[in-house]
Structure 1
Amino acid sequence: MKPVQKNDRLSVYVEDLTHDGAGVAKVDGYPLFIQGALPGEDVKVHVLKTLKSYGFAKLIEIEKESPFRVKAPCPVFDTCGGCQIQHLSYEGQLAFKGNMVRNAITRIGKLPDVPVHPVKGMDNPWRYRNKSQIPFGTDNGRVVAGFYESRSHNIADTDICLIQTMEADAIMSGLKQSLHEMGIEPYEEETHRGQLRHVVVRKGRATGEIMVTLVTKKKKFPQSERAVELIRSFVPEVTSIIQNVNPEKTNVIFGDETLTLWGKDVIEDRIGDVRFEISARSFYQINPEQTEVLYGQALEYAQLTGDETVIDAYCGIGTISLFLAQKAKFVMGVEIVPQAIEDAKRNAELNGFSNTLFEAGPAEQVIPRWYKEGKTADVLVVDPPRKGCDEQLLQTILKQRPGRVVYVSCNPATLARDLRILEDGGYRTKEVQPVDMFPQTTHCEAVAWLELAD
């Protein structure tokens, strides 16, 4: 029998946080997940739901408060799903993320002796996002915009977001007040009615260039000239205004057709000394300041002397590849998305790199062919999605056996799982460096350095 039942009210001690920021308390070994509770706190809770091996409870009262608890400055923190741990001081956030990475490496990777360094954080952990994807909708006839509530597609209406740029705030707030005047109806997901779906704002941190993309249901957009005029009045620094057309009944943001309404087709940014052209649909790291830290760490772990050939197995638009190309003899990048490869080639040309090769296709197929053609690597870099490396790619690494592997991860659990596989195949993990790319959220990136054992 479970030690707690639905509707029980009890006092518990919070031991830990989950990966999505809920407090964890245990009653006779039975975990209760409590949104809003922090480790080290004694709290009163109301049990909402009990399953076989865990339950959920609502925070009623904090009897003993964590020394790391702070008042969340965002007015919609309690409803918005964008941030999970604004109520935890930044010192506490870095400690939590360090423990999360360390625990994954120890428990999942079974690598308790691998050094995991303290998390590299930001001096100012606010206003760091260079891209905001803002949904628009209606609530009882009133235009709303902001971000989705946790685990839903209801919009938490707001005029400010403390992790996005002030320019994005100005555009979000200004358009919200102006849509009725322009005769533009916000899109409604359930009925598939309305015109304006999302507004996407991107800013180059190094250049200050700003792109605004209006995602509309139809290509016909008679209000476009007035929209351009208003956006430029809200933020005169805007350099590019784009329309993207998405007619599908889907929650995917972008459609296939993109048109330039005013200004340039792309904006430019720099990471370190490397320049990048960014189009409306280009993948580009959200936090450029910490991207420089993350890629700098990858470059350090790659131990390049200028004589090495490097393979970048998830190269995207070439961000890591071109960072490495500054120090490597030659860099080969592979990515499954053809448009990203075109962006990578263009960015290599933009920077004058002649020591790069980019090819579209699955890494687990392209890399073995490269090896058959004599294109071997001294260093292999992977930066996979949250699900981690494809199993075939891991087997390819173990078969081709490059001397050094640098693993850039956005998910400590899949990083630890993949490190275990590589360790069992003859590699040794020398160290892991976590980097905080997303302050105020529970996400943490990390870079691992592996060497082939003698």
Structure 2
Amino acid sequence: MEQKKSNVRSKSRSKGSVANRSTRKKRSASARKPDSKPSITKRDKALKAGQFCPVDKQCGACQLLAIPYADQLTSKQAEIEELFADALAEDGATMQPILGMDEPFHYRNKVISPYAPGKRTASRTHTKDTKHPQEQRAGKRNAKKRSEQREILCGMYAQGTHRIIPADECLIENQVAKKIIQAIRLLMMRYGIEPYNEDTGKGFLRHAIARVGHRSNEVLVTLVTNGEGFPGAKNFARELVKRCPEITTIVQNVNTRATNVILGEGKERTLYGPGFILDRLCGLSFRISSHSFYQVNAVQTEVLYEAAIDLAHLQGTERILDAYCGTGTIGLVAARALQEKVPAEAKDDASVIGVDKVESAIVDARNNAKHNGIENASFVAEDAGVFMNEMAGRGEALDVLFMDPPRSGASLEFLQATAHLHPRRIVYISCNPKTQARDVAFLREQGYQLEAIQPVDMFPHTTHIENICALVVADPIS
């Protein structure tokens, strides 16, 4: 899955309906508060006292930072209830309280930073770092660096722009990852490595991506460069690990295209360690490489997936399809749940099939299944809608459909294929409840009824809400 610069902390600044709701009077009884409030931390109290992020207004990623966290949850709960008000009333569905975080800070376990030239500065001839022996090996590039010294900028983009906002700290980014981003900038100056200039296409280091394992604490650093040649690469990597001993592997990814896409599709080499990290999620181990899709808030991802499995009401006999399966995370969690619940009289075909049209994701999914010893899950590289229509054409039945489409929601073709195959139960996970509400309305017209809704706060201090809808066939007899 391609990552774009516009995703690097340049989320919408708009306060939106969530922020506006916090200033209104309490809504009706339907807009209830969560049953148990997350604990209010010292940092949360500091926010209430007005000690806000110094670059909050420039960055724009944390639209709700000034609002107490408990009030954020209340407002998000109310937004979901309003979106699905008709279905809740007509179908008698259960509206569960939103699941928030106990510690809603520093939850982003992946930090991405661009590097770019800043203002011209005085020559660094007399500074200690220019004397480093590795700098001599960089040859002409270092000589030019000393004569035309510029600041190196890193951080996040200002909302809606490619203007970099330097920031040493961030209230939602992982602190180890943030430290690594800053260490790379210092080493660039020491080794005479030029940052990439997107206007001229010149310069060497474009981005750095630091990913921290939620359970394992292993750290993968990906250096995205504007060319393969990297003089002193191994020494650079060793010095970076010396400064940041948490790092377990470093990879160089080459991207020479004039594009907003961060990672290059071609050349990649390992500079230090195995080239990947392992992490545990919902009791399973996942291999994460530079191209792997992995949720940035692993704490809430476990909450989300466990809630989705609960809403599937698995008995151990089901045939399950995981549409938009990516690297197989939810499908593998479901497959393990089947194994744990399987009764002696279980159907022989109780299993999970994961489908995604991104072939690299399917390769990762198969590797993750093998790595975890899961044999009741298989993965297919194909359009999920086409695959379901083929199943229906062969007269095959499906018990449970897990679907987790992109923010734009499911396509009409996919929804029509779902209606054609007509699974007994649908568990719809969405990062955009507005498109989810649209799709749920379509499925209700096709003979489904809404059974339950479970919102999850995946991204505290932002307007984003993750939501799960469980639907069942309205009249199983027909």
Interval of TM-score (by shorter of Structure 1 and Structure 2): 0.7 to 0.9
The answer to whether 1:390 aligns with 2:401 is no
Q: How far did residue 386 of structure 1 move?
A: 0.2
- Worse overlay, 181-190 or 426-435: 181-190
Decide whether aligned partners of structure 1 residues 23 and 404 sit closer, same or farther in structure 2, where only a CA change above 3 A counts.
closer
Decide whether aligned partners of structure 1 residues 331 and 37 sit closer, same or farther in structure 2, where only a CA change above 3 A counts.
closer
Decide whether aligned partners of structure 1 residues 449 and 41 sit closer, same or farther in structure 2, where only a CA change above 3 A counts.
closer
| Contact 1:94–1:121 (8 Å) recurs in 2 | yes
The answer to whether 1:425 aligns with 2:423 is no
- Distance in structure 1 (CA, Å) of the matches to 2:287 and 2:278: 5
Question: Residue by residue, what CA displacement relative to the aligned partner does 1:338-389 show, whole Å, maximum 9, x if unpaired?
Answer: 0000000000011111101100011111122233345431001100000001
Match of 2:337 among 321, 327, 330: 327
Residue 213 of structure 2 corresponds to 204
Residue 436 of structure 1 corresponds to 457
The share of aligned pairs that are identical, in percent, is 39
Match of 1:314 among 314, 320, 324: 324
| Contact 2:91–2:450 (8 Å) recurs in 1 | no
Q: How far did residue 227 of structure 1 move?
A: 2.1
| Contact 1:184–1:223 (8 Å) recurs in 2 | no
| Contact 1:109–1:419 (8 Å) recurs in 2 | no
Aligned pairs, number: 402
Residue 287 of structure 2 corresponds to 277
| Contact 1:133–1:200 (8 Å) recurs in 2 | yes
1:40 alignment partner AA = T
Match of 2:298 among 288, 292, 295: 288
2:84 alignment partner AA = I
Residue 22 of structure 1 corresponds to 15
Residue 64 of structure 1 corresponds to none
Residue 70 of structure 2 corresponds to 91
Decide whether aligned partners of structure 1 residues 135 and 352 sit closer, same or farther in structure 2, where only a CA change above 3 A counts.
same
Question: Tell me, what secondary structure is at the counterpart of 1:238?
Answer: coil
- Distance in structure 2 (CA, Å) of the matches to 1:137 and 1:108: 50
**TM-score between the two structures when normalised by the length of structure 2:** 0.80
The answer to whether 1:408 aligns with 2:429 is yes
Q: How far did residue 223 of structure 1 move?
A: 3.5
Question: Residue by residue, what CA displacement relative to the aligned partner does 1:214-265 show, whole Å, maximum 9, x if unpaired?
Answer: 0011111113123202220221121110001110011110001221111012
| Contact 1:81–1:148 (8 Å) recurs in 2 | no
The answer to whether 1:125 aligns with 2:146 is no
Decide whether aligned partners of structure 1 residues 335 and 70 sit closer, same or farther in structure 2, where only a CA change above 3 A counts.
farther
Structure 2: gaps (5+ residues): 1-10, 26-46, 120-149, 339-349
The answer to whether 1:355 aligns with 2:408 is no
Match of 2:195 among 186, 199, 217: 186
| Contact 2:14–2:63 (8 Å) recurs in 1 | yes
Alignment of 1:237-252 (within 5 A): 237-252=246-261
| Contact 1:275–1:350 (8 Å) recurs in 2 | yes
The answer to whether 1:262 aligns with 2:272 is yes
- Worse overlay, 387-396 or 369-378: 369-378
Match of 1:235 among 229, 244, 263: 244
Question: Tell me, what secondary structure is at the counterpart of 1:243?
Answer: strand
1:119 alignment partner AA = I
The answer to whether 1:226 aligns with 2:235 is yes
Question: Residue by residue, what CA displacement relative to the aligned partner does 1:284-329 show, whole Å, maximum 9, x if unpaired?
Answer: 1111111111000110011101000100011000000001001233
Question: Tell me, what secondary structure is at the counterpart of 1:79?
Answer: helix
Question: Tell me, what secondary structure is at the counterpart of 2:264?
Answer: coil
Decide whether aligned partners of structure 1 residues 115 and 190 sit closer, same or farther in structure 2, where only a CA change above 3 A counts.
farther
The answer to whether 1:217 aligns with 2:238 is no
1:357 alignment partner AA = S
Decide whether aligned partners of structure 1 residues 103 and 237 sit closer, same or farther in structure 2, where only a CA change above 3 A counts.
same
- Worse overlay, 158-167 or 419-428: 158-167
Structure 1: gaps (5+ residues): 1-17, 25-32, 43-67
Match of 1:337 among 335, 352, 358: 358
Question: Tell me, what secondary structure is at the counterpart of 2:193?
Answer: coil
| Contact 2:293–2:327 (8 Å) recurs in 1 | yes
- Distance in structure 2 (CA, Å) of the matches to 1:255 and 1:81: 27
- Distance in structure 2 (CA, Å) of the matches to 1:193 and 1:111: 60
2:23 alignment partner AA = G
Decide whether aligned partners of structure 1 residues 155 and 72 sit closer, same or farther in structure 2, where only a CA change above 3 A counts.
farther
The answer to whether 1:146 aligns with 2:139 is no
Q: How far did residue 148 of structure 1 move?
A: 0.8
| Contact 1:159–1:172 (8 Å) recurs in 2 | no
Higher strand proportion: 1
Decide whether aligned partners of structure 1 residues 246 and 107 sit closer, same or farther in structure 2, where only a CA change above 3 A counts.
farther
1:153 alignment partner AA = H
- 1 or 2 for the larger relative contact order (CA 8 Å, sep ≥6)? 2
- Distance in structure 1 (CA, Å) of the matches to 2:373 and 2:24: 55
| Contact 2:22–2:67 (8 Å) recurs in 1 | no
| Contact 1:100–1:412 (8 Å) recurs in 2 | no
- Distance in structure 1 (CA, Å) of the matches to 2:329 and 2:402: 12
- Distance in structure 1 (CA, Å) of the matches to 2:336 and 2:238: 42
2:450 alignment partner AA = T
The answer to whether 1:156 aligns with 2:177 is no
Q: How far did residue 118 of structure 1 move?
A: 2.1
Match of 2:181 among 172, 180, 191: 172
Q: CA RMSD in A?
A: 2.3
2:397 alignment partner AA = T
- Distance in structure 2 (CA, Å) of the matches to 1:108 and 1:216: 50
